[in-house]
Amino acid sequence: MKKFVNFRFVVLFALTLVAGSTAYGQDNVIDEVVWVVGDEAILKSDVEEARMNAQYEGRKFDGDPYCVIPEELAIQKLYLHQAILDSIDVSESEVIQRVEMMTNQYIQMMGSKEKMEEYFNKTSTQIRQTMRENVRDGLTVQKMQQKLVGEIKVIPAEVRRYFKNIPQDSIPYIPTQVEVQIITLQPKIPITEIEDVKKRLREYTDRINKGEMDFSTLALLYSEDKGSAMRGGEIGFKGRGELVPEYANVAFNLQDTKKVSKIVESEFGFHIIQLIEKRGDRINTRHILIKPKVAIKDLSFATLKLDSIADDIRKEKFSFDEAASVISQDKETRNNHGLMPNPSTNTSKFEMQQLPQEIAKVVNKLNVGEISKAFTLVNEKDGKEVCAIVRLKTRINGHKATITDDYQRLKDIVIENRREEMLHKWILEKQKHTYVRINDSWKNCSFKYPGWIKD
């Protein structure tokens, strides 16, 4: 996975919601321009908002935040200017997807939408508007960096040389890694529950058709897709391939923006859809999603069934691999003997914090080869509650890296160092051809790139 370690905050700031504030920083000045980079100004409020957000996230600065932050923002502006020259484009769907992910993370961290609004001193609509532009800038910076460095190739001799030259006290520490197999069962949802969901959606359709209430208002009140519900059910412009097939087949056949679709069933639940606009092969719709709920007795039944399967595996009636391939309802793992893939590394190895929280808690108590008791978790993809058992396949305890066991990790470090060197050189060169003005009271800093202050 490509990362830009020393520029993490440049991207992180752009992908992070800035907090609202009424008075900023120093000297009781409400706001002022503290840096100018090219045609772009950096305000004291920009710096203070980034500092407040970093404080919330627990970020520690290597130096004075009022020196580090404006320099990082200035670097960001260099990338954004170059992106305009190079016609780097970020799609609307990328932006919306990231905004939804971040909004849900904030709500989860803070406990509720109301607490999020209180912390940032903004309404959820204002939060999303601010986030949208920041996300677009952050993704643009990432794409610009990727274009500048291209594909970096490293030969084994370079990795061995890097490892040989590392001082003993600087050898990277590799955190504990695990490989986990999983079997899941989706408890059967009663027909009565499904009929109740459909009845509710038909009632919403009637209210819309009679003009009693707008689709967007009903979505805000009742849709269980929390991300789009805050925008009145609107999901933004999508291509057919970005939507689940059942949704796409109905949505792309809608013609009248005042009509409501028939009820659509997908892996996420049941939807009704309304067309907003079509643009070529992309479509913007709003929807109301209702998810049928699993009864407690059905969760208990699935849990008992999985505990019975786990007992049969322990008695060696069949293997975990065989059970996963035949019984498991987890699409991502059942064809790979239940082995969970780590999308961050494209391997099957996870650091504990990379696992879903419910799974990590269970795995942390297992010995290698041991199978857990059945437990419930919420599927991150579709939000449905499922029952699961897991087996700890391997555990590699935390250790100092070795060339034999950790070649790939060391190779990634070499590539990262090479990427950092290339970006460092690019910034130094870009500085030479960019107009920069810094207020005198903000110049007394040990900048990472001294070229900001020109004689």
Q: Point out the least confidently predicted range of 25-29, 151-155, 298-302, 372-376.
A: 25-29
Same domain, 370 and 315: yes
Task: Name the average pLDDT for the chain.
Answer: 87
* 252-281: pLDDT as tens digits: 999 999 999 999 999 889 999 999 999 888
Q: How confident is the model at residue 7 (pLDDT cuts 50, 70, 90)?
A: very low
User: Which pLDDT value is given to residue 11?
Assistant: 41
Q: How confident is the model at residue 296 (pLDDT cuts 50, 70, 90)?
A: confident
Same domain, 224 and 242: yes
Instruction: Give the up-direction half-sphere exposure of residue 162: CA atoms within 13 A in the CB hemisphere.
Output: 24
Give the pair of three-digit tokens for residue 442: 């903000």
* 68-115: pLDDT as tens digits: 999 999 999 999 999 999 999 888 777 877 887 787 777 767 777 788
Give the pair of three-digit tokens for residue 341: 């893939």
Same domain, 379 and 322: yes
Residue 167 lies inside a defined structural domain of this protein:
no
User: Among 349, 398, 348, 391, which residue's Cα sits nearest to residue 367?
Assistant: 391
* 190-224: pLDDT as tens digits: 899 999 999 999 999 999 999 999 999 999 999 99
User: Which pLDDT value is given to residue 369?
Assistant: 96
Number of domains in the chain: 3
Residue 97 lies inside a defined structural domain of this protein:
yes
Q: Is 378 helix (H, G, I), strand (E, B) or coil?
A: strand
Q: How confident is the model at residue 344 (pLDDT cuts 50, 70, 90)?
A: confident
Q: How far is CA 171 from CA 84, 165, 302, 413, in A?
A: 40, 10, 47, 11
Same domain, 386 and 337: yes
Q: Is 202 helix (H, G, I), strand (E, B) or coil?
A: helix
Same domain, 182 and 329: yes
In this structure, the chain runs to a length of 455
User: Among 418, 422, 424, 411, which residue's Cα sits nearest to residue 172?
Assistant: 411
Supply the CATH number for residue 237's domain: 3.10.50.40
Q: Give the end-to-end CA distance of the chain in Å, rounded to a whole number.
A: 41
User: Which pLDDT value is given to residue 316?
Assistant: 95
Same domain, 231 and 309: no
User: Which pLDDT value is given to residue 382?
Assistant: 66
User: Which pLDDT value is given to residue 84?
Assistant: 92
Give the pair of three-digit tokens for residue 123: 């309404």
- Give yes or no for residue 248 having a pLDDT over 70: yes
Tell me what the mean pLDDT of segment 305-321 comes to: 96
- The range of the structural domain enclosing residue 383 comes to 177-188+294-400
Residue 169 lies inside a defined structural domain of this protein:
no
User: Which pLDDT value is given to residue 111?
Assistant: 74
- Give yes or no for residue 6 having a pLDDT over 50: no
User: Which pLDDT value is given to residue 76?
Assistant: 94
Q: Tell me how far the alpha carbon of residue 116 is from its chain's centroid.
A: 18
Same domain, 25 and 66: yes
* 159-187: pLDDT as tens digits: 999 999 999 999 999 999 999 999 999 88
Same domain, 183 and 210: no
Same domain, 267 and 312: no
Q: Does the model's pTM come out above 0.75?
A: no
Residue 405 lies inside a defined structural domain of this protein:
no
Q: Which residues are CB-contacts of 114 (< 8 A; sequence separation ≥ 6)?
A: none
Q: Is 344 helix (H, G, I), strand (E, B) or coil?
A: coil
Among 273, 290, 307, the domain boundary falls at 290
Q: How confident is the model at residue 455 (pLDDT cuts 50, 70, 90)?
A: low
Tell me what the mean pLDDT of segment 123-151 comes to: 88
Same domain, 27 and 58: yes
Among 244, 273, 290, the domain boundary falls at 290
Same domain, 184 and 238: no
Same domain, 373 and 445: no
Tell me what the mean pLDDT of segment 330-336 comes to: 89
User: Which pLDDT value is given to residue 57?
Assistant: 73
Which percentage of the chain shows pLDDT scores above 70?
92
Residue 158 lies inside a defined structural domain of this protein:
no
- Phi/psi at 228 (5° precision): -80, -25
Tell me what the mean pLDDT of segment 379-397 comes to: 87
Residue 162 lies inside a defined structural domain of this protein:
no
User: Which pLDDT value is given to residue 190?
Assistant: 85
d(CA 25, CA 52): 10
Residue 199 lies inside a defined structural domain of this protein:
yes
- Give yes or no for residue 447 having a pLDDT over 90: yes
Residue 434 lies inside a defined structural domain of this protein:
yes
Among 290, 325, 356, the domain boundary falls at 290
- Give yes or no for residue 22 having a pLDDT over 50: no
